Amino acid sequence: MSTLVIVESPTKAKTIRNYLPSGYRVEASMGHVRDLPRTASEIPAAVKGEKWSSLGVNVQSDFEPLYVVPKDKKKIVKELKEALKNSDELVLATDEDREGESISWHLLQLLKPKVPTKRMVFHEITDEAIKAALTNCREVDQRLVRAQETRRILDRLVGYTLSPLLWKKIAPSLSAGRVQSVAVRLLVKRERERRAFRQGSYWDLKAALSKDKSSFESRLVTLADKRLATGNDFDENTGQIIAGRDVVLLNEEETLALQARLTDKTWSVAGVDERPSTRKPAPPFITSTLQQEANRKLRLSARETMRVAQSLYEKGFITYMRTDSVNLSQQAIAAARSCVEDLYGKNYLSPEPRQYKTKSKGAQEAHEAIRPAGQTFRTPKETDLQGAESKLYDLIWKRTVATQMAEARQTHITVHLEVEDAGFRSTGKRIDFPGFFRAYVEGSDDPDAALDDQEVLLPSLKQGDTPECTELSPIGHETQPPARFTEASLVKMLEKEGIGRPSTYASVIGTIIDRGYAQRQANALVPTFTAFAVTALLEQHFPDLVDLSFTARMERRLDGISTGEVEWLPYLSDFYLGDEGLETLVKTRQDQIDPGEARTIDLDNLEAKVRIGRFGPYIETEHEEKPVKASLPKDMTPADLTPEQIEQLLKQKLEGPEKLGFHPEKGEPIYILLGAYGPYVQLGDVTEENKKPKRASLPKGVAMESVTLDMAVELLSLPRLLGQHPDTGCKVQVGLGRFGPYVVHDQGKEGKDYRSLKKEDNLFTISFERALELLAMPKGTRGRRGTKKALKELGSHPEDEAPVNVYDGPYGPYIKHNKTNVSLPEGKKVEDVTLEMALPLLAEKASTKGKKKTSRAKSTTKKKTTKKTTAKKTTTKKTAAKKTTAKKTTKS
């Protein structure tokens, strides 16, 4: 007989197994094992008729929750029950936080152990820590469990009462929740600010100066003792200088006049300031900061980051990746310090070991910070990691090592210069001692700020010096709207407000994109029309729930419940059934909200109204007392909608499409239109016999206004024949597809062989020779930016002669043969792999592929192939908050 120990994850099970005496069996629960029913199909027949059953909480009977074992956990629960039969003791060793405690309690409820049962907790997986934990077991903490249950019920009540309201009033399948609705609201509020933003412009002078043959730059800052206006002096809503600011605002003419007046005058140094400063390294990674940095530095999404981190964790390279604690164990600090000494020397070591304090709201700190695993850290070079794994490990390693390095010391130098009545300023920075800069500098959402960490050298100057001015140029500036949220800045904001947990940051972003509340544009998250409509409704009728502080208030109550100071039932009862409770509120508002109004989006200074319809957003306005409606392109967001575009759409609707001219050979008219999939051109009219005239989308980045008749004719002639392939005699054509321009070798029954054109190729001018060259390139190497190359070529497959190669992927190296991919066998390195080794692996993979269950019970709601329109207008907007961009103007 033995003791059964249950933890959450198989990896944790594997590691603690090594520290436990023999006779201990360790199994994983795989997270929560019971939950409220997720969908109608999970509700037991016995209660299906009850009014409350769709909530999964009997709100009339003391909020009694209805727990079920979800389908994917049934097998695990069964296995745990089996394991318990052969044990004479049960130890529950889940995390010591609210959710972990709850998992233990649910296990007790499900397994109903007849043998002695203990609750064991530990924060570090070391021999001593685990032995100590074993002798220090306790009971399951019922208060903590109750706090979790209260959290669970509250989230369910919010989500499952507000979502149905949205289905009735706005569109089916929409969702609302304590976390996602606040996240969406943040995006919407920022976009409203951007829409309300009015640009301001101002001018100044830039001087190139030199002293003792070294040159430096200087900016005009004062004129006749008055400060020159900068971006911060502008009111974002008017584009004018904020009232009461005593500043000089120069326009272009005035600046040119000043330039002329100051040219060839004498410059003198009025003073030099030197200000030393120090900088401390950033704290070690937690889930949120790791996601932010990986997004900024590696351009990984939160989800990708977590996938890669999980893999590193499973392979034993890093500690657990879902954590909100910045704590480092003593061993970790020692390991980091020894890395610093070995690689950078004693000088670079911080005098004292550095330990950080967690400061985000509601952190539960069941784990350590994210750091390289082990008593000694493997340097990135010592690992055989590849691709994203290698890059992420490098990031984690550097950040951790940097925490034990000395502060950086730098000096900021400001030189004040005078010429006539104009004051100029030069700023420089000298790094006196780089300290942790040697290992790691935190990234920034603002690309301009990255320059902050670079040295800017000035020649040595002192008061009374007279440097020579070699160039004086006027510079125009425009103020920029507040930056959109990126994944990184959204996660940062949510984390700061204590909204969401480490395990959910990535999925929150996924949810708001899946539900159609936001689109990813470059690295930014852009809210949709639906997001505007839903946010407006929630703000108007449920302001408390979408307030940033709602979660923090809830957390305080939950803390109270876990200490016994607050009673859970009155809290829930008041929240849901009270006079101003959620149920009451939803019932009264349900009758008040007019669906037509709720579906209408109020946008400033637009003549037409935008409404959410069955087929997506459309605009509606009146023309000669009759309503006119027109669809908006699918991926258009409120940000892109301008009065001109509305006019274009309505004109097209009222007067028919705009005619570009007539086809030179066919004589038919050619039109340009804006459709649901972006702008396109059309040859001929829609008639009875020709219901589908020839159409062609505009290539990416081409504006509607810039399309000429010639271009339209060319587009409509696609796919264009280039010639006959010398090997086969088959057609070689060039065309424009979903993924941009391509060449195709059409071998009839043999199939079509496609290649995308490269950046340097032009769809209209590409030569036949170049097309053949592209077709001759191997296909599998298309990859990202064409950089994908095989790590090792194993040879050709005996069956079909197709190549079998080893490639590098985000989950490590893998073997590829046609469409079959298989990871390298455990413990094997790229160099070791041979064709002989690969063939059986590929064969096995190919066979399991075929007989895999296809059911998966409509797992993800709608897995539509996300079609991207070819003609998306990519307006690359500058995203520097309140920053200004310089507009170079030529010296006259």
Among 135, 847, 861, 892, binds DNA (CB under 7 A): 861
Annotated active-site residue in 313, 320, 348, 807: 320
Between residue 330 and residue 369, which ones bind DNA under the rule CB under 7 A?
A: 364
Among 178, 391, 398, 492, binds DNA (CB under 7 A): 178
User: Where are any strands of DSSP class E within 11-148?
Assistant: 24-28, 57-58, 64-65, 87-92, 117-119
Q: Give burial (CB, 10 Å; 0-12/13-18/19+) of 801.
A: exposed
- Is 141 a binding residue for DNA by CB under 7 A? The answer is no
Stretch that binds DNA, among 153-161, 254-262, 294-302, 521-529 (CB under 7 A): 153-161
Task: Name which of 450 and 802 has its Cβ closer to DNA.
Answer: 802
The CB-of-479 to DNA minimum distance in angstroms stands at: 35
The CB-of-103 to DNA minimum distance in angstroms stands at: 7
Among 614, 749, 779, 888, binds DNA (CB under 7 A): 614
Among 476, 502, 638, 741, binds DNA (CB under 7 A): 502
Task: Name which of 142 and 781 has its Cβ closer to DNA.
Answer: 781
Between residue 420 and residue 449, which ones bind DNA under the rule CB under 7 A?
A: none
Q: How far is it, in rounded angstroms, from Cα 581 to Cα 578?
A: 4
The CB-of-801 to DNA minimum distance in angstroms stands at: 21
Task: Name which of 461 and 598 has its Cβ closer to DNA.
Answer: 598
The whole-angstrom distance between residue 759's C-alpha and the CA centroid of its chain comes to 26
Task: Name which of 158 and 744 has its Cβ closer to DNA.
Answer: 158
Between residue 39 and residue 98, which ones bind DNA under the rule CB under 7 A?
A: 39-41, 54, 72, 95, 97-98
The CB-of-577 to DNA minimum distance in angstroms stands at: 18
The CB-of-612 to DNA minimum distance in angstroms stands at: 8
Between residue 277 and residue 306, which ones bind DNA under the rule CB under 7 A?
A: none
Stretch that binds DNA, among 17-25, 506-514, 557-565, 714-722 (CB under 7 A): 506-514
Q: Which helix (H) or strand (E) holds 431?
A: strand 422-433
Stretch that binds DNA, among 232-240, 264-272, 767-775, 845-853 (CB under 7 A): 845-853
- Is 30 a binding residue for DNA by CB under 7 A? The answer is yes
Task: Name which of 477 and 816 has its Cβ closer to DNA.
Answer: 816
Task: Name which of 155 and 446 has its Cβ closer to DNA.
Answer: 155
**426 beta partners:** 415
Between residue 626 and residue 685, which ones bind DNA under the rule CB under 7 A?
A: 629-631, 673, 675-678, 680
- The DSSP annotation for 126-154 comes to SHHHHHHHHTS-B---HHHHHHHHHHHHH
Task: Name which of 510 and 795 has its Cβ closer to DNA.
Answer: 510
Q: 358 — phi, psi (to 5°)?
A: -70, 135
Q: How far is it, in rounded angstroms, from Cα 636 to Cα 621?
A: 18
**812 beta partners:** 809
Between residue 863 and residue 882, which ones bind DNA under the rule CB under 7 A?
A: 867, 869
Q: How far is it, in rounded angstroms, from Cα 708 to Cα 33?
A: 63
The whole-angstrom distance between residue 776's C-alpha and the CA centroid of its chain comes to 37
Q: 25 — phi, psi (to 5°)?
A: -110, 130
Q: How far is it, in rounded angstroms, from Cα 599 to Cα 171?
A: 8
Between residue 745 and residue 774, which ones bind DNA under the rule CB under 7 A?
A: none
The whole-angstrom distance between residue 160's C-alpha and the CA centroid of its chain comes to 26
The CB-of-81 to DNA minimum distance in angstroms stands at: 18
Q: Say if strands 609-613 and 226-228 run parallel, antiparallel, or are unpaired.
A: unpaired
**870 beta partners:** none
Q: How far is it, in rounded angstroms, from Cα 324 to Cα 396?
A: 15
- Is 2 a binding residue for DNA by CB under 7 A? The answer is no
User: Where are any strands of DSSP class E within 584-632?
Assistant: 600-601, 609-613, 616-623, 626-631
Q: Is the dihedral of CA 312, 314, 318, 321 positive or negative?
A: positive
Stretch that binds DNA, among 179-187, 333-341, 477-485, 639-647 (CB under 7 A): 179-187
Q: How far is it, in rounded angstroms, from Cα 692 to Cα 865?
A: 24
- Is 167 a binding residue for DNA by CB under 7 A? The answer is yes
- Is 230 a binding residue for DNA by CB under 7 A? The answer is no
Between residue 96 and residue 115, which ones bind DNA under the rule CB under 7 A?
A: 97-100
Whether 226 contacts 248, CB under 8 Å: yes
Instruction: Identify whether 393 is a catalytic site residue.
Output: no
Among 176, 336, 406, 598, binds DNA (CB under 7 A): 176
- The structure tokens 């637009």 sit at 606
Between residue 812 and residue 841, which ones bind DNA under the rule CB under 7 A?
A: 814, 816, 819, 821, 823
- Is 480 a binding residue for DNA by CB under 7 A? The answer is no
Task: Name which of 38 and 261 has its Cβ closer to DNA.
Answer: 38
- The DSSP annotation for 191-236 comes to HHHHHH----EEEEEEEEEEETTEEEEEEEEEETTEEEP-GGGB-T
- Is 613 a binding residue for DNA by CB under 7 A? The answer is yes
Q: Give burial (CB, 10 Å; 0-12/13-18/19+) of 188.
A: buried
- Is 9 a binding residue for DNA by CB under 7 A? The answer is yes
The CB-of-310 to DNA minimum distance in angstroms stands at: 6
Active site residues: 320
